[in-house]
């Protein structure tokens, strides 16, 4: 059949449903049928499933003209999705088309939720299209005879590639694809990505190192620029609006009319804790909303979440308080309005959330921004500009993840075994491992076979065996099983199941939170006040409590730093200070704060770098304002403190937020020495960073994930997971012995590298220092704290930096005595 | 601050060593708790690639402690061996052969190796030991009558300073008539204790020993 005829089949099907294919869909069909690989840049809900599923079906029809009567067996395509929740939606869409075109093609799902029976059935006879997650795909690679299973595979479609790209799950995908390229010679690789700053690179990473001739590829963009209108919720009495805070509850009453005026509203919060608190408070103040208000976050049990999602579709809810758990996924037509509480810290995240409101064609999505403290209004103002100027963040791919590589090699050894000479070139052609040297490769092989690099003849280490024919294989069944259970790159804290004594599952809570509670204590979770009855194994049994409790469940992590794109916008927004009176609504609302700031200090212009100093009861504060996001500020504060401490003996306590950082000391020092000694120079950055920051402590935290992914520590069997505390202390202990006895261990070095690149954003730091060096430094000694400094100096999450010897420091420290 | 520190316990002079060993000059012997030999190999056997150099380090530090005090008498206060015998037992046997210390092992909860194997190396084993009026145990026991030295806990202490400075260090922990020794092994963790105001703490920091809190 010619391409024309094939395309007509698709066109006909679309028209039969009263649809007209979008240009980007047709473009994708054509490119696929020409045998090209590619990346499709299209937002959720734009018809991207049919953009890629259609040509897969057409290609099948082409190669099997008697498709209506004879079904050709074997898997045709893999559809990788980062979210299990999305798989059903995709399955339904794909199956509908396959059925209506009478192709007889089957669509199956395989994720962590798939039953054992279903898996076995799939193993016997694969569906034509398999929808799965990167982890489940790896598990398939860990099963015997996988090359036979995938022999007929023609296409891999990686959905939401932007979500995977900047994570180790992306690396996992790269490695899986490198194998498929060999196993399935006819393979076409396609990705689907939302708009990010580095789309071209995203495609390169997906394709790996193969030339354009080898693999002709296209980047197809769906030309659908999202129209977004941002409206800030500005308090009527700006004067009493707090200068610091992160909950934003002062403005609770302001959102009630918004909720009432709209069919369904999603209220996005930045953390699960914030989500719980908002849900609780809205119901407390407005009990009339009970039954019409729901909550949605990643720790609530799946049934409840699905129920909430369904209720949104049924329009039976007025509002949902949510976290990023609703960022992605299926479309909710009835959602008319979005409210964002607190700065979203990134443009892409904000737009994604704004896009959740389904609007009438041609009309923009409306998103309300609710600031949690006064200065966040500047962020709102910056976001508005980001929307009009289409600024987008990059997703930076990982490089040289030895932990993922080690896991992958053991995966291959668990299934059919592998020969290094065959796998090495494959691995080297992935983006992640393009710089992999022969020595590093050998190191990884030694690691999985001998557990060390030394050539000692005696060894009790058992993992992968080298067989006589040179095949690297796991023969021990227990090791194989433990490995299968450990496949994955998402390391989460151990979760406790929260259940009623009478039965009934409520959700999961991080162990550290419940671990410190005693039976009888109450806490707020999933919108209910619960009393802890007992902890048994990994289950917390609870009952409902009538007591009022302010002990809201909290979760680790989740605090994202300002993206560099947002930082830039924020600086520009602020630095147009001289004209602030004529600026946006948000900036005008802040005028009294700017005035207060000006009484003591200045609002820095774009060519100025502001430093403030003042004394309080706590000590001598020096506050700096680079506006570069908290990670960069964390690193900057350490470097600066270190450099100062080389000049004078001093101890600092450090604090930072997204806007600036503070050095607090118990003695007054001369700020002038910063200028005299050019302490902001980017020279010797890395050396100073290594000496200044508690890199060891940070790396040891990073090392926990690496230890789990590389199989150094085992997270436990299902329903019998190892306690986080043990996991933590095991990995810390391992970190310490590696540091003491094997400092050149690649996994240890990776922990440091990840710390510098991801935690400290070394690259961004360098650019920031270069910028600061070219600015006019303005030092303002102040009488009292300024509005700008207030959120920083009141931060209680502090770190220390000292030039004193450990022994001297200890002399000044005090032992923690019994409370 | 030095590598050793002398303090009084139950009327006896005791010398703490930065390795975590305690020397009692009157009896010319070393007290050492929680070496956890074999733990590295135990981990390796289960697929965790702990560096083998950590094994060597235990013996090196045993040598240093013996040489520093010129003694060949050792009391191990339990958890000498982490688990079942493995290759590290052979290293240990070799080390015993070479150094020939007069050795007593107070049995700990981890010591599950058949006692005959200790016998074969000339090691005396017992549930509790005595050193003059001192009682030696593995698990600390509250005994108001008798001065006791034990291990098991792997004691550590957390220090805090101005500006939220914080650090945790392994330590000798003395509370009333009870002294708990730090874990000697190179692949052992620590458990942070919060001392009462009458407790004495001698912490190990950067290969040195320091008195953090000493009641006059």
pLDDT in tens, B34-92: 999 988 888 888 778 888 888 889 999 999 999 999 999 999 999 999 888 788 899 99
The phi and psi torsions of A121 (rounded to 5 degrees) equal -65, -45
User: Which helix H or strand E contains A473, and what residues bound it?
Assistant: strand A472-473
Strands (E), A682-734: 716-717, 720-721
Nearest-by-CA chain B residue for A745: B51
Residue that wins the pLDDT comparison between A55 and A215: A55
Q: Is residue A260 domain-shared with residue A205, that is, in the same domain?
A: no
Give the pair of three-digit tokens for residue A443: 């190191």
Q: Is residue A689 domain-shared with residue A704, that is, in the same domain?
A: no
β-pair partners for A655? A662
Rounded to an integer, what distance in angstroms lies between the CA atom of residue B66 and that of residue A443?
37
Rounded to an integer, what distance in angstroms lies between the CA atom of residue A432 and that of residue A172?
10
β-pair partners for A79? A131, A157
The predicted structure's pLDDT at residue A10: 93
Q: Is residue A470 domain-shared with residue A615, that is, in the same domain?
A: no
Q: Is residue B3 part of a domain?
A: no
Rounded to an integer, what distance in angstroms lies between the CA atom of residue B118 and that of residue B209?
32
Instruction: Say if B206 is an interface residue toward chain A (CB within 8 Å).
Output: yes
Q: Which residues of B touch A799 (CB under 8 A)?
A: 164
Q: Is residue A605 domain-shared with residue A662, that is, in the same domain?
A: yes
In contact, A84 and A169? CB cutoff 8 Å? no
Pairing relationship of beta strands A107-110 and A129-132 according to DSSP bridges? parallel
The predicted structure's pLDDT at residue B84: 83
Q: What is the DSSP letter of A757?
A: I
Q: Residue A746: is its pLDDT beyond 90?
A: yes
Test B47 with A482 for CB contact under 8 angstroms.
yes
Which residue in A406, A414, A444, A451 has the most chain B C-beta atoms within 10 A of its own C-beta, making it the best mutation to test that interface?
A451
User: Which helix H or strand E contains A776, and what residues bound it?
Assistant: strand A776-781
Test A812 with B186 for CB contact under 8 angstroms.
no
Residue that wins the pLDDT comparison between A645 and A550: A645
Give A500-530 pLDDT, tens digit per residue.
Answer: 888 778 877 776 677 667 788 888 887 778 8
Give A94-111 pLDDT, tens digit per residue.
Answer: 999 999 999 999 999 998
The predicted structure's pLDDT at residue A9: 92
The predicted structure's pLDDT at residue A812: 54
Q: Is residue B113 part of a domain?
A: yes
Given A332, A358, A389, which residue is the final one in a domain? A389
Q: Is residue B17 part of a domain?
A: no
Give A536-549 pLDDT, tens digit per residue.
Answer: 766 788 888 887 76
Rounded to an integer, what distance in angstroms lies between the CA atom of residue A393 and that of residue A349?
9
Q: Which residues of A touch B213 (CB under 8 A)?
A: 815
Residue that wins the pLDDT comparison between A764 and A441: A441
Q: How confident is the model at residue A719 (pLDDT cuts 50, 70, 90)?
A: low
End-to-end CA distance of chain A: 82
The phi and psi torsions of B131 (rounded to 5 degrees) equal -140, 95
In contact, A253 and A388? CB cutoff 8 Å? no
Give A28-37 pLDDT, tens digit per residue.
Answer: 999 999 999 9
Following DSSP, what letter does each residue of A396-431 receive, concatenated? PPP---HHHHHHHHHHHHHTT-B-HHHHHHHHHTSS
- Count up the domains in chain A and report the number: 5
Rounded to an integer, what distance in angstroms lies between the CA atom of residue A283 and that of residue A413?
54
What is the domain extent for residue B56? 23-213
Please state whether A773 falls in left (phi above 0), alpha (psi between -120 and 50) or beta. alpha
Q: Residue A579: is its pLDDT beyond 80?
A: no
β-pair partners for A320? A266, A294
Q: Is residue B124 part of a domain?
A: yes
Q: Of A321-330, A415-424, A798-807, where does the model show the most confidence? A: A415-424
The predicted structure's pLDDT at residue A818: 46
Give A167-190 pLDDT, tens digit per residue.
Answer: 899 999 999 999 999 999 889 999
Q: How confident is the model at residue A560 (pLDDT cuts 50, 70, 90)?
A: low
Q: What is the DSSP letter of A758?
A: I
Q: Residue B133: is its pLDDT beyond 50?
A: yes
Nearest to B49 among A447, A815, A817 (CB): A447
Please state whether B36 falls in left (phi above 0), alpha (psi between -120 and 50) or beta. left
Nearest-by-CA chain B residue for A733: B189
Give A790-806 pLDDT, tens digit per residue.
Answer: 888 876 555 655 555 55
Give the pair of three-digit tokens for residue A576: 């147009």
The predicted structure's pLDDT at residue B163: 44
What is the domain extent for residue A600? 590-693+760-812
Q: What angle do CA B186, B192, B197 make, to 5 degrees?
A: 130
Please state whether A350 falls in left (phi above 0), alpha (psi between -120 and 50) or beta. alpha
Give the pair of three-digit tokens for residue A630: 């908290």
Given A510, A544, A578, which residue is the final one in a domain? A544
Q: What is the DSSP letter of A225?
A: P
Given A201, A221, A241, which residue is the final one in a domain? A221
Please state, in angstroms and as integers, the Cα–Cα distance from residue B193 to each residue in A819, B49, B180, B200, B213, following that order: 12, 30, 11, 12, 14
Q: Which residues of B touch A456 (CB under 8 A)?
A: 52
- Picking from A34, A56, A30, A41, the residue whose alpha carbon sits closest to that of residue A220 is A41
- Residues whose CB falls within 8 Å of the CB of residue A429, separated by 6 or more in sequence, listed in order: A178, A208, A209, A210
Q: How confident is the model at residue B1 (pLDDT cuts 50, 70, 90)?
A: very low
Q: Is residue A45 domain-shared with residue A64, that is, in the same domain?
A: yes
Test A818 with B195 for CB contact under 8 angstroms.
yes
Q: Is residue A236 domain-shared with residue A251, that is, in the same domain?
A: yes
Q: Is residue A434 domain-shared with residue A477, that is, in the same domain?
A: yes
Q: Is residue A767 part of a domain?
A: yes
Q: Is residue A351 domain-shared with residue A480, that is, in the same domain?
A: no
- Picking from A632, A630, A631, A613, the residue whose alpha carbon sits closest to that of residue A675 is A613
Q: Which residues of B touch A740 (CB under 8 A)?
A: 53-54, 57, 186
β-pair partners for A717? A720
Residues 17-56 of B with CB under 8 A from A: 40-41, 44-54
Q: Which residues of A touch B159 (CB under 8 A)?
A: 810, 813-816
Q: Which residues of B touch A814 (CB under 8 A)?
A: 159-161
Give the pair of three-digit tokens for residue B8: 């009084």
Q: What is the DSSP letter of A208?
A: -
- Count up the domains in chain B and report the number: 1
The phi and psi torsions of B134 (rounded to 5 degrees) equal -80, 140
> Picking from A217-226, A608-617, A782-791, which range would have the lowest pLDDT averaged per residue?
A217-226
Binning chain A into helix, strand and coil, the percentages to the nearest 5 are 45, 15, 40
Rounded to an integer, what distance in angstroms lies between the CA atom of residue A112 and that of residue A668?
58
CATH number at residue A236: 3.40.50.300
Test A651 with B161 for CB contact under 8 angstroms.
yes
Q: How many CB atoms lie within 10 A of CB A411?
A: 26
- Average pLDDT (B148-158) is 92
Q: Is residue A464 domain-shared with residue A500, that is, in the same domain?
A: no
Nearest-by-CA chain A residue for B198: A817
Rounded to an integer, what distance in angstroms lies between the CA atom of residue A366 and that of residue B52?
61
The predicted structure's pLDDT at residue A799: 61
Q: Is residue A466 domain-shared with residue A369, that is, in the same domain?
A: no
Rounded to an integer, what distance in angstroms lies between the CA atom of residue A544 and that of residue B91?
58
Q: Residue A224: is its pLDDT beyond 70?
A: no
- How far away is chain A from the Cα of B200, in angstroms, using its nearest Cα? 11
Q: What is the DSSP letter of B33?
A: B
Q: How confident is the model at residue A61 (pLDDT cuts 50, 70, 90)?
A: very high
The predicted structure's pLDDT at residue A537: 64
Q: Residue A581: is its pLDDT beyond 50?
A: no
- Average pLDDT (A20-40) is 93
Q: Beginning with the edge strand found earlier in the chain, give each strand of the sheet holding B12-17 in spatial order.
A: B4-9, B12-17, B22-24, B29-32, B73-76, B102-106, B124-126
HSE, CB side, 13 Å, CA atoms: give it for residue A709: 28
Q: Of A77-81, A308-312, A378-382, A492-496, where does the model show the most confidence? A: A77-81
Q: Residue A338: is its pLDDT beyond 70?
A: yes
Test B160 with A813 for CB contact under 8 angstroms.
yes
Q: How confident is the model at residue A331 (pLDDT cuts 50, 70, 90)?
A: low
Please state whether B38 falls in left (phi above 0), alpha (psi between -120 and 50) or beta. left
B183-209: burial string, b at 16+ Cβ within 10 Å, e else? bbbbbbbbeebebeeebbbbbbbeeeb
Give A358-396 pLDDT, tens digit per residue.
Answer: 655 566 778 899 988 888 888 888 888 887 777 788 888
State chain A's mean pLDDT as an integer: 84
Q: How confident is the model at residue B207 (pLDDT cuts 50, 70, 90)?
A: confident
Q: Residue B153: is its pLDDT beyond 90?
A: yes
Q: Is residue A239 domain-shared with residue A275, that is, in the same domain?
A: yes
The predicted structure's pLDDT at residue B80: 93
Q: Residue A157: is its pLDDT beyond 90?
A: yes
Rounded to an integer, what distance in angstroms lies between the CA atom of residue A307 and that of residue B142?
56
The predicted structure's pLDDT at residue A545: 84
Q: Is residue A358 domain-shared with residue A464, that is, in the same domain?
A: no
Q: Is residue B4 part of a domain?
A: no
CATH number at residue B187: 3.60.21
- Average pLDDT (A321-347) is 79
The phi and psi torsions of A107 (rounded to 5 degrees) equal -125, 125
- How far away is chain B from the Cα of A631, in angstroms, using its nearest Cα? 19
Q: Which residues of A touch B45 (CB under 8 A)?
A: 460-462
Rounded to an integer, what distance in angstroms lies between the CA atom of residue B44 and that of residue B59?
19
Q: How confident is the model at residue B216 (pLDDT cuts 50, 70, 90)?
A: very low
- Residues whose CB falls within 8 Å of the CB of residue A578, separated by 6 or more in sequence, listed in order: A605
Rounded to an integer, what distance in angstroms lies between the CA atom of residue A14 and that of residue A16?
5
Q: How confident is the model at residue A819 (pLDDT cuts 50, 70, 90)?
A: very low
Q: Is residue A569 part of a domain?
A: no
Tell whether ipTM is more than 0.95.
no
HSE, CB side, 13 Å, CA atoms: give it for residue B23: 21
- Average pLDDT (B141-169) is 80
Q: Residue A645: is its pLDDT beyond 80?
A: yes
What 3-state DSSP class applies to A613? Answer: strand
Binning chain B into helix, strand and coil, the percentages to the nearest 5 are 25, 40, 40
Q: Is residue A574 part of a domain?
A: no
Q: Is residue B57 part of a domain?
A: yes
Rounded to an integer, what distance in angstroms lies between the CA atom of residue A382 and that of residue A347?
9
């Amino acid at each position: 059949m010619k391409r024309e005829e094939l395309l007509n089949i698709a066109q006909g099907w679309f028209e039969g449903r009263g649809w007209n294919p979008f240009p980007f869909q047709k473009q994708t069909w054509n490119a696929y049928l020409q045998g090209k690989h590619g990346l499709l840049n299209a937002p959720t809900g734009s018809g991207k499933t049919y953009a890629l599923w259609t040509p897969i079906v057409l290609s099948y029809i082409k190669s099997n003209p008697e498709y209506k009567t004879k079904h050709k067996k074997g898997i045709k395509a893999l559809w990788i999705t980062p979210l299990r929740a999305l798989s059903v939606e995709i399955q339904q869409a794909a199956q509908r088309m396959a059925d209506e075109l009478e192709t007889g093609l089957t669509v199956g799902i395989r994720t962590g939720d798939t039953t054992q029976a279903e898996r076995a059935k799939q193993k016997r006879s694969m569906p034509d299209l398999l929808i799965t997650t990167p982890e489940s795909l790896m598990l398939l690679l860990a099963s015997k005879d996988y090359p036979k299973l995938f022999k007929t595979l023609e296409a891999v479609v990686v959905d939401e590639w932007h979500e995977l790209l900047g994570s180790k799950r992306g690396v996992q995908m790269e490695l899986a694809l490198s194998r498929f390229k060999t196993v399935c010679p006819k393979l076409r690789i396609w990705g689907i990505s939302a708009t990010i700053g580095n789309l071209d690179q995203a495609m390169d990473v997906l394709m790996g190192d193969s030339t354009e001739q080898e693999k002709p590829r296209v980047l197809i963009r769906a030309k659908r620029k999202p129209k977004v209108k941002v409206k800030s919720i500005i308090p009527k009495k700006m004067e009493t609006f707090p200068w610091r805070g992160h909950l934003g509850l002062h403005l609770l009453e302001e959102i009630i009319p918004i909720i009432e005026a709209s069919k369904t509203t999603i209220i996005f919060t930045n953390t699960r804790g914030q989500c719980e608190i908002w849900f609780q408070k809205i119901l407390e103040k407005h009990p009339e909303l009970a039954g019409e208000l729901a909550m949605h976050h990643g720790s609530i049990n799946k049934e409840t979440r699905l129920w909430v999602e369904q209720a949104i579709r049924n329009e039976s809810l007025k509002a949902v308080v949510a976290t990023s758990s609703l960022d992605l996924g299926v479309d909710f037509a009835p959602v008319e309005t979005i409210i964002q509480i607190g700065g979203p810290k990134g443009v892409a995240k904000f737009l994604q959330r704004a896009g959740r409101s389904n609007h009438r064609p041609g009309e923009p999505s409306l998103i309300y921004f609710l600031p949690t403290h006064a200065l966040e209004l500047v962020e709102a103002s910056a976001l508005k500009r980001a929307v009009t100027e289409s600024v987008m963040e990059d997703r930076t791919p990982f490089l040289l993840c030895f932990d993922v590589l080690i896991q992958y090699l053991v995966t291959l050894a668990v299934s059919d075994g592998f020969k290094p000479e065959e796998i090495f070139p494959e691995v080297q052609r992935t983006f992640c491992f393009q710089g992999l040297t022969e020595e590093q490769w050998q190191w990884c092989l030694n690691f999985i076979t001998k557990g060390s690099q030394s050539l000692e003849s005696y060894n009790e280490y058992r993992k992968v065996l080298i067989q006589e024919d040179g095949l690297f294989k796991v023969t021990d069944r227990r090791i194989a099983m433990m490995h299968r259970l450990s496949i994955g790159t998402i390391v989460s804290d151990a979760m406790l199941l929260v259940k009623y004594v009478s039965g009934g599952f409520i959700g999961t809570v991080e162990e550290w939170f419940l671990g410190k509670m005693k039976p009888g204590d109450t806490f707020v979770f999933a919108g209910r006040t619960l009393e802890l009855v007992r902890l048994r194994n990994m289950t917390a049994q609870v009952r409902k409590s009538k007591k009022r409790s302010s002990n809201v469940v909290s979760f680790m992590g989740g605090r994202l730093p300002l993206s560099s794109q947002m930082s830039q916008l924020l600086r520009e927004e602020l630095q147009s200070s001289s004209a602030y009176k004529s600026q946006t609504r948000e900036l005008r609302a802040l005028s009294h704060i700017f005035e207060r700031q000006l009484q003591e200090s200045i609002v820095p212009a774009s060519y100025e770098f502001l430093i403030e100093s003042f004394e309080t009861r706590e000590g001598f504060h020096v506050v700096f304002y680079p506006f570069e996001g908290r990670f960069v500020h964390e690193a900057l504060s350490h470097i600066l403190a270190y450099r100062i401490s080389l000049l004078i003996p001093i101890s600092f306590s450090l604090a930072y937020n997204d806007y600036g950082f503070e050095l607090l000391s118990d003695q007054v020092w001369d700020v002038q020495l910063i200028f005299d000694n050019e302490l902001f120079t980017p020279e010797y950055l890395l050396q100073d960073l290594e000496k200044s920051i508690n890199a060891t402590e940070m790396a040891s935290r990073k090392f926990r994930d690496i230890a789990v992914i590389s199989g150094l520590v085992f997270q436990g069997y299902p329903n019998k997971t190892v306690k986080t505390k043990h996991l933590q202390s095991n990995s810390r202990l391992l970190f310490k012995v590696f540091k003491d006895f094997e400092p050149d261990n690649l996994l240890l070095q990776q922990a440091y590298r990840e710390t510098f690149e991801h935690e400290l954003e070394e690259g961004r730091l360098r650019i920031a220092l270069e910028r600061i060096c070219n600015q006019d430094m303005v030092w303002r000694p102040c009488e009292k704290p300024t509005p700008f400094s207030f959120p920083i100096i009141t931060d209680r999450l502090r770190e220390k930096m000292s030039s004193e010897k450990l022994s001297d420091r200890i002399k000044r420290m005090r032992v923690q005595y019994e409370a | 601050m030095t590598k050793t520190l002398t303090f009084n316990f139950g009327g006896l002079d005791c010398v703490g060593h930065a390795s975590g060993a305690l020397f009692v000059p009157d009896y010319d012997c070393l007290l050492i708790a929680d070496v956890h030999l074999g733990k590295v190999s135990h981990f390796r056997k289960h697929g965790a690639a702990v560096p083998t150099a950590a094994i060597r380090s235990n013996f090196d530090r045993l040598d240093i402690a013996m040489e520093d005090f010129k003694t060949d008498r050792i009391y191990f206060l339990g958890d000498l061996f982490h688990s079942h015998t493995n290759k590290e037992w052979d290293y240990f046997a070799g080390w015993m052969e070479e150094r020939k210390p007069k050795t007593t092992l107070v049995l700990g909860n981890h010591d599950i190796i058949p006692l005959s194997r200790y016998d074969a190396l000339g090691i005396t084993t017992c549930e509790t030991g005595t050193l003059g009026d001192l009682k030696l145990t593995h698990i600390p026991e509250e005994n108001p009558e008798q001065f006791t030295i034990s291990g098991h806990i792997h004691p550590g202490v957390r220090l805090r300073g101005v500006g939220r400075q914080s650090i945790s260090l392994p330590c000798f922990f003395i509370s009333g008539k009870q002294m708990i020794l730090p874990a000697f092994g190179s692949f052992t963790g620590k458990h942070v204790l919060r001392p009462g105001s009458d407790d004495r703490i001698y912490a190990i920091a950067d290969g040195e020993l320091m008195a953090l809190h000493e009641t006059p």
